[in-house]
Chains A and B, each alone.
Chain A
Amino acid sequence: MQQEINLNTASNASPDRFMKIGRDPNRAERIERKSLTAWQDIRYRLFANKLAMFGLYLMIAIVLMAIFAPLFSHYNYFSNDLDHTNQAPSFKHWFGTDDLGRDMYVRTWKGAQVSLFVGVVAALIDLFIGIVYGGIMGYFGGKVDEIMNRIAEVLYAIPYLLIVILLLVVMPPSLTTIIVAMSITGWINMAWIVRGQIMQLKNQEYALASKALGAGSFRIIFRHLIPNAMGPILVTLTLTVPGAMFTEAFLSFLGLGVQSPVASWGTMINDGVKAMTVYPWRLLFPALFLSLSMFAFNVFGDGLRDAFDPKLKK
């Protein structure tokens, strides 16, 4: 005991108790961690995020079911069977039947098709217009940017519900109407994201080099700058999809969207609400899968955003 305490006192720290280790020339340049490219790092961090991966698997499962479930069923989404209306879930009808005897299992997945279709198409239209508009805005800057930005600002202030209502006066309620209405103002967010990215990137050496070699503006924007801005664009794209899916369900719920007999989660929920107290499964299944897919897309989008954010790196 006595000796241990003595070890810690200063008087005992005589030079002969120390040893010089010196520099190891081999260690100075040793790389402790695996060297990762930016995309490898993003992938690694995304895969490490359990919630986001759960969202991704859920997304894939819903997409696969939406494509294949209606194909491998004896039933279809539009045939009435008036002898078997409002059946509870059973082996014959897994999710039960609705008030016209239509199989809820097939209708739920048909609704998933409609929902996903609207989500993906609306997101792709936003992507296309947003990249072109935002790219031009960001690259040319100055007066062009000023004018285009003002136009975007004016449009951005108009809420989509009003656009839908105005459009419904000239167009019949349908998928096309919903998608057109969402696209009229939906692309602006994307355009602003792209603009911000391009403004950051356009003075980078590779863009200048390309310019010096005689590349045209459009080549620089679409071949060099946009690919480098892919991160934020992808994140925005993923988070646009659930928004569009919700809008479709919202409008269909109000009867302003997809019309019968085509199934949509929105119309099915509307029907289900009316019969909720007696036949709860008619509300349960479309509501459950709408919520699940909103959850999956949101969680995955969040995870993707975190993976792209270098500030959150541990």
Chain B
Amino acid sequence: MIRYILNKFIFMFLSLFVLVTATFALMNAVPGSPLQSEKATTEQIQKNMEAYYGLDKPLIQQYGLYLKKLAQFDLGISMKKRFQSVNKMISQSFGYSLRLGIVSIITSVLAGCVLGIIAAMYHRKFLDNLAMVIAVIGLAIPSMVMAPLLQYLFSVKLRMFPVTGLKEPLAYVLPTIALSSVSIAFIARLIRATMIEVLHADFIKTAKAKGLGGHLIVWRHALRNSMLPVVTYLGYLAANVITGSVIIEQIFAIPGMGKFFVQCVIDRDYPLIMGTTIFYAVLLIATRFLADIAYVLVDPRIRISAGKVGG
């Protein structure tokens, strides 16, 4: 077990290292200096600025310094918003994204499970079909279509929810639905497929023979076994939520991290690009690592020997 986790941990680290190095290499492969501007500056000012950002040192030394700063969780200083550290810029807006993301993940798992369970319990009946139609619609309508439609219908026309922002609890409803619809659909289908299989397993027949009621069987016996694929999916769910929130934040005018993705590329603000990239990479890769471990912990059937997962 410990070897397995250690193994995964090393590879998580390796992925991060590759990404950090690739980021650094790409940023330095671009021709021209990021500090060039339309305004005419004297050579001395240019040199001072380069020294300020450490661009006057040889490349290897810059790379070393960058890694050293990263190890201390220092992402550097923005080039467009002078003297503002990337750390501060991220921490100011990450709160919004985090809250929306957590609400969305919880909603996805809960709603997905409920839909999936209903579909599996009433397999090939009306409720199953209904749940699957909802799931297919959720999967087919992309978030950039879903979000404006919801906004137009419920906020602009019916005035049930605030149009933009995240100031009150009610404001979370529409962004959460738009952000979660794809994941809800995915989880519902996942749960349905495994649950139908599990409900035909021998231990369910034993539970039935023992005289347990239908609902108790589903909750106590079937659900726990059907949750396994969902645990694996959680790592990807986090990734989906993060990428999806870029669009949702733009449509609902939420001042989260999403704006950096687009703005930093247009501004060519290198420290900010590197900062957001690495920040998200750490977040995502760590989530996947945790999902991997959770999977092993949840499933008693997986036995681990010599760092390999085997049946």
What is the interface of chain A, defined by CB distance below 8 A to chain B?
A: 150, 153-155, 157-159, 161-162, 165-170, 246, 249-250, 253-256, 266, 269-270, 272-273, 276-277, 280, 283, 287, 290-292, 294-295, 298-299
Given contacts A154-B18, A166-B26, A277-B156, contact A266 B144 (CB under 8 A): yes
Question: Are B265 and A290 interface neighbours, CB within 8 A?
Answer: no
Given contacts A165-B265, A165-B273, A250-B243, 14 further A-B contacts (CB under 8 A): A157-B12, A157-B15, A157-B285, A158-B15, A161-B242, A162-B19, A165-B277, A169-B26, A254-B246, A266-B144, A270-B144, A276-B156, A280-B152, A298-B139
CA distance A166 to B145 in the complex (A): 26
Instruction: Tally B residues with Cβ within 8 Å of A.
Output: 47
For window 115-144 of chain B, which residues contact chain A by CB distance below 8 Å? 136-137, 139-142, 144
CA distance A154 to B145 in the complex (A): 33
CA distance A231 to B244 in the complex (A): 31
Instruction: Give the contacting residue for A256; candidates B14, B26, B265; CB below 8 A.
Output: B265
* Cβ of B204 under 8 Å from chain A: no
Question: Are B140 and A291 interface neighbours, CB within 8 A?
Answer: yes
When distances are taken between beta carbons in the complex, the residues of chain A under 8 Å from B23 are 166
B303 to chain A, nearest CB (A): 21
Given contacts A169-B27, A256-B262, contact A287 B149 (CB under 8 A): yes
CA distance A154 to B15 in the complex (A): 5
Instruction: Give the contacting residue for B14; candidates A154, A250, A269, A272; CB below 8 A.
Output: A154
CA distance A255 to B284 in the complex (A): 24
Chain B residue nearest in CB terms to A295: B140
Chain A residue nearest in CB terms to B239: A159
Question: Are A283 and B142 interface neighbours, CB within 8 A?
Answer: no
CA distance A273 to B250 in the complex (A): 11
Contact digits for B173-195, partner A, Cβ 8 Å, 1 yes 0 no: 00000000000000000000000
Among A166, A167, A255, A298, chain B packs the most CB atoms within 10 A around the CB of A166
Residue pairs across A and B with Cβ atoms less than 8 A apart, 27 shown, are A150-B11, A153-B11, A155-B18, A157-B12, A157-B284, A158-B15, A159-B280, A162-B277, A165-B273, A166-B22, A166-B26, A166-B273, A166-B277, A246-B142, A250-B142, A250-B243, A254-B246, A254-B250, A269-B148, A273-B148, A276-B151, A276-B156, A287-B149, A290-B142, A294-B141, A295-B140, A298-B139
Chain A residue nearest in CB terms to B262: A254
Question: Are A169 and B145 interface neighbours, CB within 8 A?
Answer: no
CA distance A277 to B270 in the complex (A): 37
* Cβ of B67 under 8 Å from chain A: no
Question: Are B247 and A250 interface neighbours, CB within 8 A?
Answer: yes
Contact digits for B30-73, partner A, Cβ 8 Å, 1 yes 0 no: 10000000000000000000000000000000000000000000
Chain A residue nearest in CB terms to B18: A154
B73 to chain A, nearest CB (A): 18
Given contacts A158-B19, A291-B141, contact A276 B148 (CB under 8 A): yes
A109 to chain B, nearest CB (A): 18
Question: Are B281 and A291 interface neighbours, CB within 8 A?
Answer: no
B55 to chain A, nearest CB (A): 16
Question: Are A169 and B265 interface neighbours, CB within 8 A?
Answer: yes
CA distance A276 to B251 in the complex (A): 12
Question: Are B144 and A250 interface neighbours, CB within 8 A?
Answer: yes
CA distance A287 to B251 in the complex (A): 15
When distances are taken between beta carbons in the complex, the residues of chain A under 8 Å from B239 are 159
When distances are taken between beta carbons in the complex, the residues of chain B under 8 Å from A168 are 265
Question: Are B243 and A159 interface neighbours, CB within 8 A?
Answer: yes
CA distance A298 to B27 in the complex (A): 37
When distances are taken between beta carbons in the complex, the residues of chain A under 8 Å from B250 are 254
Question: Are B149 and A158 interface neighbours, CB within 8 A?
Answer: no
CA distance A155 to B288 in the complex (A): 13
Instruction: Give the contacting residue for A276; candidates B15, B30, B152, B281; CB below 8 A.
Output: B152
When distances are taken between beta carbons in the complex, the residues of chain A under 8 Å from B141 are 291, 294
* Cβ of B80 under 8 Å from chain A: no
Contact digits for B227-244, partner A, Cβ 8 Å, 1 yes 0 no: 000000000000100110
When distances are taken between beta carbons in the complex, the residues of chain A under 8 Å from B145 are 269, 287, 290-291
* Cβ of B29 under 8 Å from chain A: yes
Question: Are B140 and A298 interface neighbours, CB within 8 A?
Answer: yes
B86 to chain A, nearest CB (A): 14
CA distance A206 to B136 in the complex (A): 41
Given contacts A166-B26, A283-B148, contact A254 B247 (CB under 8 A): yes
Chain B residue nearest in CB terms to A254: B262
Question: Are A294 and B148 interface neighbours, CB within 8 A?
Answer: no
Given contacts A159-B239, A159-B243, contact A170 B26 (CB under 8 A): yes
* Cβ of B203 under 8 Å from chain A: no
When distances are taken between beta carbons in the complex, the residues of chain A under 8 Å from B30 are 169-170
Question: Are B15 and A161 interface neighbours, CB within 8 A?
Answer: no
